[in-house]
Amino acid sequence: MQLTFRWFGPDDPVSLAHIRQIPGLSGIVSALYDIPVGEPWPRERLAGLKSTIEAAGLRFAVVESIPVHEDIKLGWPTRDRLIDNYRASIRAMGEVGVPVLCYNFMPVFDWVRTDLERLLEDGSTALAHDDLALAEIDLSEGTAELPGWATAYSPAELRDLFVAYEDVGPDELWENLQYFLEQVIPEAEAAGVRLAIHPDDPPWPIFGLPRIITNGAALDRVIDLVDSPANGVTFCTGSLGALPSNDLPELARRLGARGRIHFAHCRNIRVTGERRFHETPHPTASGDVDMFEVLRALRDTGFNGPLRSDHGRMIWNEKGRPGYGLHDRALGTTYLNGLWEGLSREVRR
């Protein structure tokens, strides 16, 4: 297992120098955040980012992520050109030596929350989601009312996207995902890059849009679409854990036995109602994710890839990007490191 940390580049209020001081941590998860969606990533830009990371005594372990253009998800004729650009970005990753690419196939919206500052009993704040609150958000003025949404859509752009997706249901989305993977997985194999699809977050339809990567059966199906060691998953305990029917240790054991968990996001959540949850500190006792058993399953199946603490609370008066402060993610990292050390010693005994 390789402990890693998400870093949003030079504009991130969390510095590489501070990340470097987290015990046991060796890798950085990052991306080229200013490249327009659909454009190929220049090799020299990736190489420059890698050099910056290495100069801080860390290594560039995962690209998270190269966004998949909506035309690819929609299956439009323009997708072939955009897939060619995506393949070029994968080639650039291989040439620079970044081995894992985390991506998702969520229509229009990436991860969604309805509250970025849910006050917890200990006085910290955390990300939270409630489908009832989501239903009250008015998108007629674009995405301005959607908390924390990174990609801004105008009312006209959002209206056009919703119209486009009227003809795309789960079956069509699966077909378009298969087409995409059939084109990019051979490129990934040649480049020495492992693709790791991220589960939908939250793992159910939102705003009437289909979401298909929601459970273990879906992750198995993704792997089977193109049976290659380069085609794998990001095992996200928070995304999958928001659906109580997902048995996370069993899923980790099954997918790990197939050798297809290429990346792991470990965070804890508390489910508080139907399609309602909030994020918590990382330890098992803090939420509904049995982090000990998840890591045991990863250990038992030989997982040796990158793993990172995921969304943290904002604690100790820290200000910054919600979910991505330094302090609680660092605490989460040391907790995960301690669990892994204990599990590793258990095996040796």
Among candidates 262, 275, 256, 203, which has minimal Cα distance to 234?
Answer: 262
Instruction: Report d(CA 100, CA 349) in Å as an integer.
Output: 32
> Catalytic: 310?
yes
Cα maximum dimension of the chain: 62
- Residue 198 annotated to the active site: yes
Does 311 participate in catalysis according to the annotation? Answer: yes
- Judged by DSSP in three states, 278 sits in strand
What ranges make up the beta strands (E) of 22-70? Answer: 25-30, 59-64
Catalytic residue among 130, 200, 290, 310, which?
Answer: 310
Which alpha helices (H) appear in 192-290, and where do they start and end? Answer: 216-225, 237-241, 248-257
Catalytic residue among 69, 129, 198, 282: 198
Phi-psi region of 57 (alpha: psi -120 to 50; beta: other; left: phi over 0): left
Catalytic: 324? yes
Q: For residue 97, is it left (φ>0), alpha (ψ between -120 and 50) or beta?
A: left
List the one residue out of 99, 103, 260, 257 whose CA is nearest residue 188: 99
Task: Give the CA distances from residue 299 to residues 130, 215, 230, 239, 265, in Å, rounded to whole numbers and listed in that order.
Answer: 33, 21, 20, 21, 15
Q: Which region holds residue 11: left if phi is over 0, alpha if psi is between -120 and 50, else beta?
A: alpha
71, 86, 129, 236: which one is catalytic? 236
Helices (H), 277-317: 291-300
**Has 265 been annotated as catalytic?**
yes
Task: Clarify whether 327 is annotated catalytic.
Answer: no
| Residues noted as catalytic | 198, 236, 265, 310-311, 324
